[in-house]
Chain A
Amino acid sequence: DAGVIQSPRHEVTEMGQEVTLRCKPISGHDYLFWYRQTMMRGLELLIYFNNNVPIDDSGMPEDRFSAKMPNASFSTLKIQPSEPRDSAVYFCASSLGTGGAGYTFGSGTRLTVV
């Protein structure tokens, strides 16, 4: 398996633009997680899905953020409109169950909003 695949690897956008981050989880994994990492706040959970259904979105910062998982092999995280404070590395991870030994992270998307 190729692991968790995220795209794009890097994204630079202007404030106010829409940004879409993509994730393909490992086949067979039933959980998918979106995390955001900054120097100030570390790695924060944004939202996670179980069998394509959102379970906990309490970490989503505000209405500008939305996430979807239309099928077991694809998820998106959208920011509209983007702001400079959204600049961070966004990681997607997948696992079989919520046990922490089985999380596989993607390489992340480094987002810069100018």
Chain B
Amino acid sequence: RKEVEQDPGPFNVPEGATVAFNCTYSNSASQSFFWYRQDCRKEPKLLMSVYSSGNEDGRFTAQLNRASQYISLLIRDSKLSDSATYLCVVNQAGTALIFGKGTTLSVSS
């Protein structure tokens, strides 16, 4: 079983739609959680950290359920520019980031 699992998609949505991505992780010792964004043929870049209380950054909302080892990302009012691959990422103290394979989002007009 992979440490971080995501539905690869693709998710194809129209502009203005709300879309949600889910991710599960297997190691209960994981302490830090993130969503990274990767555009086609580019490097991954941090989108947002994920906190236990849930957090929001504009149209993006991330939530963490430690008991279920589950992380989510909600994107409201999707824009064409949101089209990318979204990587779920976990981290244990003092170790390197572990990435999921990513979920591909395509937003169309």
Contacts and interface: CB of A to CB of B under 8 A. Distances in A.
B43 A100 contact: no
Given A43-B44, A101-B46, A107-B43, A56 B96 contact: yes
A100 B97 contact: yes
A25 interface: no
A98 B42 CA distance: 22
Interface string A90-104: 010000001111010
Nearest to A43: B99
Q: Which of B43, B89, B94, B95 has the most CB of A within 10 A?
A: B43
Contacts, number: 51
A100 B88 CA distance: 11
Contacts of B49: 100-101
A33 B96 CA distance: 8
Indicate the size class of the contact surface on chain B. 20 to 34
A105 B44 contact: yes
A103 B91 CA distance: 12
Interface residues of A, number: 19
Given A42-B102, A43-B87, A98 B95 contact: yes
A113 B95 CA distance: 31
A24 to B, nearest CB: 15
Interface in A29-45: 33, 35, 41-45
B98 A45 contact: yes
Interface of A: 33, 35, 41-45, 48, 56, 91, 98-101, 103, 105-108
29 contacts: A33-B96, A33-B97, A35-B99, A41-B101, A42-B100, A42-B101, A42-B102, A43-B44, A43-B87, A43-B99, A45-B96, A45-B97, A48-B96, A56-B96, A98-B91, A98-B95, A98-B96, A98-B97, A99-B32, A100-B46, A100-B89, A101-B32, A101-B46, A103-B46, A105-B43, A105-B44, A105-B45, A107-B43, A108-B43
